[in-house]
Amino acid sequence: MYKCDVERMRDKIETFSKFGDAGHGGITRYSLSPEAIQARDEFVKRMKAIGAVIETDDLANMYATIPGSDPNAKRIVMGSHCDSVKNGGNYDGILGVMGAMEVLETVVKENIPHKHPLTAMIWTNEEGSEFPPCMMCSGIVSHDYMPERFRDNFEYNKMMASVSILDRTTTFGEKLSTFKYKGDVANRINPEQYKAMFELHIEQGPILEDDGKDVGIVTCVLGQMLYRVKFYGQAAHAGTFPMKKRLDAFHAAAEALCYLHDEIDKLGHDDLVYTTGEVVIHPCVNTVIPDFFDFSIDVRHENPDVLNEVRKILMSLQERTWKGCKCEVVLGWNRDTVYWDKKLVGYVREAAEELETKHMDIHSGAGHDAQYISYMLPTTMIFVASQKGLSHCEEEYTTPEQCTEGASVLLNAVLKCDKED
């Protein structure tokens, strides 16, 4: 069994944390930004130093490849993204890039024999922080392989027309056209040239830490559905209209949301998660009774039957009035559970066991580039523990030792994949 080097990993963490330093221990590094260019420059510098060949595709996805003993063998790719949310942490996404780099460095420095070319990569615009949607470029690349009902979400021209949330003017396509690392469409990852993909990532939750484990063997990305729940009332003067006669859409929504929580909790599924994270109120004036209120509800679980149970509760909301207000439930979108390739999951588990790493099976509640690539290639993920379960914030932290442990599991799982016929 081979092990990656903790001091090299520590150096990478400290270096990449400078690119977009927000001044409070975290980073703001939007895709295609000057800070993203700094991170990519560092990636290129370090990968060229070990003799890797650098390629970029038309979406500015980057690939650093070292050859294997068989020039005709397909590549095994490892990677993640280097962009962040605003005031994010130093590990989300970039750990998967640093881990892939560390694997290549270890293979080269220790002269580890391997048949397949090995590639470390950076995905463009995973977070979608400036240009929505998230996982944009992995979605574009896998467009023709994903279920047909998802394809319109990642149609190329639509993605190029995505407008910056910062200046409300510049499109993704415009910014990409002048980006330093925009390359050739022929370099895109594809099933003809690539054998498998591995993505190392922080867990972004507390489960591994709570269980005393350093590494998670990820089995799937949870199924997810997003609904909008809308309430229609009547606007009136806040100071003159009697309480008993009001059709207050906000009050109606509050009553329905409390009911929703109670009914979903009665289902008794401890691993079911649901969140209301966005609301719309009209007219949003302190002297006017709201005539409209709309809240989101995001629901995630592995089992489609459980999601259907929640769906029935949600749809039942519109069968009655709430504080006299009409209710409408509208599906935003949904996706099925994405299961990772069983053979690759087995390689990750074997590697963790042989390295005597403290590990457990786990699912991913968050979306990742790997889930879209799984439609075109055998794919899997590896998690490492997140301190206090915190992510998408400046407090995000995983120890250098845990990061290195994850990279070592990645290295040995990739080598197992390399040996298969």
Going residue by residue through the chain, which has 421 residues, state the pLDDT in tens, using 9 for 90 and above. Answer: 999 999 999 999 999 999 999 888 899 999 999 999 999 999 999 999 999 999 999 999 999 999 999 999 999 999 999 999 999 999 999 999 999 999 999 999 999 999 999 999 999 999 999 999 999 999 999 999 999 988 999 999 999 999 999 999 999 999 999 999 999 999 999 999 999 999 999 999 999 999 999 999 999 999 999 999 999 999 999 999 999 999 999 999 999 999 999 999 999 999 999 999 999 999 999 999 999 999 999 999 999 999 999 999 999 999 999 999 999 999 998 999 999 999 999 999 999 999 999 999 999 999 999 999 999 999 999 999 999 999 999 999 999 999 999 999 999 999 999 998 6
Task: Please give the CATH topology (third level) of the domain spanning 223-335.
Answer: Alpha-Beta Plaits (3.30.70)
User: Furthest-apart CA pair in the chain: how many Å?
Assistant: 82
Q: Domain segments of the chain: what residues? A: 6-221+337-419, 223-335
Taking the model in full, what pTM does it have? 0.94
Same fold, 6-221+337-419 and 223-335: no
Rounded to an integer, what distance in angstroms lies between the CA atom of residue 13 and that of residue 96? Answer: 11
Q: Which residues contact 158 (CB under 8 A, 6 or more apart)?
A: 152
The CATH number of 6-221+337-419 is 3.40.630.10
Asked if 221 contacts 208 with a C-beta cutoff of 8 angstroms, the reply is no
Token pair in block for residue 210: 């709570």
Tokens encoding 92: 């989300």
Q: Which residue has the tokens 């993204």?
A: 81
Q: What is the DSSP letter of 340?
A: P
The candidate with the shortest Cα–Cα distance to 120, out of 181, 84, 82, 76, is 76
Q: Is the peptide bond before 133 cis (omega within 30 degrees of 0)?
A: yes
Cα–Cα distance list, 326 to 101, 233, 256 (Å): 55, 7, 11
Q: How far is CA 123 from CA 1, 48, 67, 382, in A?
A: 29, 18, 21, 17
Cα-Cα end-to-end distance for the chain: 20
